[in-house]
Amino acid sequence: MKTSSLATLAAVLAAASMTVSTAAQAQDAKAGSTKVAMCIGCHNIPGYQSSFPEIYKVPKIAGQNAKYIVASLNAYKKGERKHPSMRGIATTLNEQDIADVAAWYEQLGKGAAAPATVGEPPADIAKLLAKANCESCHGKNFSTPIDPTYPKLAGQHADYLYVALKAYQTDHNPHVGRSNAIMMGMARPYTHAEIKAMAKYLASLPGELKTVELSEFR
């Protein structure tokens, strides 16, 4: 019975792995370029700002991991990330649309890779980053996460990172917050001042994230 159960579990895991692999292969960046009309008006305008739940620059997503973008859009779609505009857009996209849009943004930022390591942060920042062991997931340069469903952080807008991390501290609010269990546990021990300091440091690092302006906005 035990051997049979293990065999069944292995088959299920193999099937799941094949499904993920097929989904990844199905991403079509060219098709994605025709599906981003609702994205480019924010994410392809340098310095463009969101006003919910406070004013901050929308994140740079060109060059971000496609699998992370997929995970993020699905989180907005399910309501795990609470943002009315993003949820409204995400709910209009099917699985193929999300995969294609994610692939387009990943390749849009392709360029020189981030340096493998970055200089040592100031002692106070190093202590804050060590408290949640941030580099163990996001990489020593904060551009090489251990899993592509995790985001690259280096060079991201500081004000966006600040708002995002605060969202993981917010619970039981129907309008604001993010409900990723791992990140909620990591973010909650920090004060807002500490989050702001970490966000400023991460934003200062060389990275692969970009806001790519399109010709229609020039």
Q: Which residues does the chain have with pLDDT short of 50? A: 1-25
pLDDT value of position 21:
39
Domains of the chain: 29-217 (1.10.760.10)
Answer for the pair 146, 64: CB distance below 8 angstroms, yes or no. Answer: no
pLDDT value of position 26:
65
pTM for the predicted model, two decimal places:
0.86
CA distance 96 to 88: 17
